[in-house]
A and B are shown apart, each in its own frame.
Chain A
Amino acid sequence: MSGHSTFEPKNPALKWFESRLPLVGLIHSSFVAYPTPRNLNYWWTFGGILSLMLVCQIVSGVVLVMHYTPHVTLAFDSVEHIMRDVSWGWLIRYIHANGASMFFIAVYIHMFRGLYYGSYKAPREVLWILGCIIYLLMMATAFMGYVLPWGQMSFWGATVITNLFSAFPVVGPTIVEWLWGGFAVDNPTLNRFFSLHYLLPFMIAGVVVLHVWALHVVGQNNPTGVEPKSEKDTVPFTPYATIKDGFGMVCFLIFFAWFLFYIPNYLGHADNYIPANPLVTPAHIVPEWYYLPFYAMLRAVPDKLGGVLTMFGAIIVLFFVPWLDTSKVRSAAYRPLYKQFFWIWVAVCIGLGWLGSKPAEGGYVIAGRILTIYYFAHFLIILPLLGLFEKPKAIPASITEAVLGKNKGAAPASAGVSAPQTKG
């Protein structure tokens, strides 16, 4: 797809540099000349939005570290020092805290888009798996970041989540002590979480580079799920995708700013404005909203180890989606049954999220069990069977045909001219 760069520098200095390290050519072929399907909709702008959020989190995080103190007696007050005394500190801290939530909103939309349009199917399996790894790293990073302000929910969230590892037979207690750096969540825990919270985002950035590289090898999927077959099917990344991504990003920033400036504590917990106290347990220990579906699954299983395995399994199963989905058709637009099951699954995920915020009692647990079973059934039963029984709709011969067919009365279709070049 990406091929060799067509970039020919005119400037002699640039020519000299380019023949020694073709850096500008790489950027040119990746973000200027890179052919992008002409029919991408706005759901495809979330890749760019996620890159923006990663940069936003790293930059705001680096500034926060200049003022933060990772010590159990000082951490809470140092965050408040940022909020009160550091110039624009409240803004930087609220950007970082709300930015994490925005990052997850964007990544969930990005993942749902991938699942809807079958972006994980051959030849994009590695691209998909790299994305799943980024998601796992994000979860770990966000969890450790939430511990740093050392409020009540920081402390008790850390206690509950690290204790999960004790469920593993034989090695469990050793793993937990190793995570804590002692026999309880305490200063060594805070220090190592701080260190790892600073490290992991750069690992995410590294995997993002691989993710984008893999994307540029196999090319973008598109709403039809049909590979580009001729130059007619694609447009150059710049200006077409850049301007569209830019518009998407600014719209997303408006959404971000709504929370950031007007309800900056809406997505957090009031309890985290109480300094951590190991002697007082909050009435309800609830993780951040982006973990809630998994938290519901954890509590749906009566056995502790079973719950932990179910929770991790819910993420691990995503890695195998390229092989669990047996359908040859990528896009849900041409899969009438999958389209319905997809939306049921989305509703199940939201339902699990709501249950995760409720106390684990009575009807909530029963509902949690049913939805957990459905979550796994979607991947392990429905996806493999749908491919065998579903009768897909007629698939257009090319992207151009799909686009021109949609806008009737436009220029005559010329899709027949193009010969298939790539096989999906």
Chain B
Amino acid sequence: MSNTMSFRSSLLRPLAVASLVIGLAVPALAAEGAPKPSREDWSFAGPFGKFDRAQVQRGFQVFKEVCASCHSAHLLAFRNLAQPGGPEFSEAQVKAVAEGYQVQDGPNDAGDMFDRPGRLSDRWPSPFPNEQAARASNGGAFPPDFSTLAKARTYEVGFPGFLIDIVRQYQEQGPDYIHALLNGYKEPPEGFNLPEGAHYNAFFPGHAIKMPQPISDDQVTYTDGTPQTVDQYSRDVTAFMMWLAEPHLETRKRVGFQVMIFLIIFAGLLYFTKKKVWKSVEH
């Protein structure tokens, strides 16, 4: 039985030479004058970082009620929402969410496709059947898929910050950028030539973004008393997007710590063994 995957139109036409020329002709959207996103305090940053369960659950709510009406997340399966290290909804909760969607399945014995309620094993249904449909509904812009988006965005850190980041173990540039973008909608400055159908965003490369401000205060109703502000929504949905892009982040950091302890002890033992072996040899 094959679940219907959202159609990912093959973007890859054998026209890369032509597109290279086109690509070079289109001026690169240099982020000139764009301010650097500020570094936020993410719960999942650092060597012992973990997702804030409640935050990722709220982030999922924002995604489901707001973002998902335009953005797909085709690598997300409903079952992922219940697995350890993520929002960790109960299986019953996720089943209820899945059943709220109609998923195309088939063909059945008669050779017909049919719709049925979603199951845990289904992928998140995409809002549009293909890229063309998405563009047609969004003023020509293609809302990017959320699956890996939090790892697909960054900003230049510069010298010496990029070296300090190795020591600090900081690689949350993607979340910083998304948070900044969602809070970056402003009136265009005097003399800025905003194209038709675009919106001014301080952090978007080139500043003219097709996505209108996606969320406003009190748009999503939180049940746990968390403030219903754009800033809070953006933090929550960003945390959810980071989990979506890196669902095994918590395991990675936990195993990393165990491996580090092992390697450091092992290195210590080898060091003293080496010292003993070489004791009688001047070198």
Contacts and interface: CB of A to CB of B under 8 A. Distances in A.
Interface residues of A, number: 61
A273 B260 contact: no
A250 to B, nearest CB: 4
Nearest to A73: B10
A140 B148 CA distance: 28
A281 B247 CA distance: 28
Interface string A260-274: 111111100011011
Contacts of B169: 258, 262-263
A274 B10 contact: no
A202 interface: no
Interface stretch (A4-12, A108-116, A238-246, A319-327): A238-246
A307 to B, nearest CB: 17
B281 A250 contact: no
Contact of A250 (B144, B173, B270): B270
Nearest to A158: B16
Contacts of B256: 257, 260-262
A91 interface: yes
B189 to A, nearest CB: 22
B35 interface: no
A238 to B, nearest CB: 10
B267 A254 contact: yes
A185 interface: yes
A403 B80 CA distance: 61
Contacts of A410: 282
Contact of A262 (B29, B47, B248, B267): B47
A243 B275 CA distance: 9
Contacts of B101: none
Contact of A38 (B17, B148, B253, B283): B283
A243 B277 contact: yes
A253 B26 CA distance: 44
A159 B259 CA distance: 39
Contact of B255 (A77, A91, A258): A91
A266 B14 CA distance: 32
A404 B22 CA distance: 68
Contacts of B257: 261
Interface string A60-101: 000000000000110001001001100000110010000000
Contacts of B248: 83-84, 90
Nearest to A151: B152
Contacts of A129: none
B221 interface: no
B110 interface: no
A182 B8 CA distance: 23
B152 A183 contact: no
Interface residues of B, number: 64
B50 interface: no
Contacts of B147: 80
A237 to B, nearest CB: 12
A244 B28 contact: no
Contacts of A247: 267, 270-271, 273-274
B266 A250 contact: yes
Given A38-B283, A261-B252, A275 B277 contact: no
B75 A159 contact: no
B10 A273 contact: no
A417 interface: no
B278 interface: yes
A283 B205 contact: yes
A266 B16 contact: no
A255 to B, nearest CB: 10
Interface string B238-254: 00000001111001110
B259 A243 contact: no
B116 interface: no
B171 interface: yes
B115 interface: no
A72 B274 CA distance: 50
> Which 3 pairs show the lowest CB-CB distances between chains A and B?
A261-B256, A281-B23, A184-B16
Interface of B: 8, 10-17, 19-20, 22-24, 26, 28-31, 47, 75, 80, 144, 147-149, 151-154, 159, 165-166, 169-171, 173-174, 205, 245-248, 251-253, 255-257, 259-260, 263-264, 266-267, 270-271, 273-274, 277-278, 281-283
Interface of A: 38-40, 72-73, 77, 80, 83-84, 90-91, 94, 155, 159, 163, 182-187, 235, 239-240, 243-244, 246-247, 250-251, 253-254, 257-266, 270-271, 273-281, 283-284, 354, 403-404, 407, 410-411
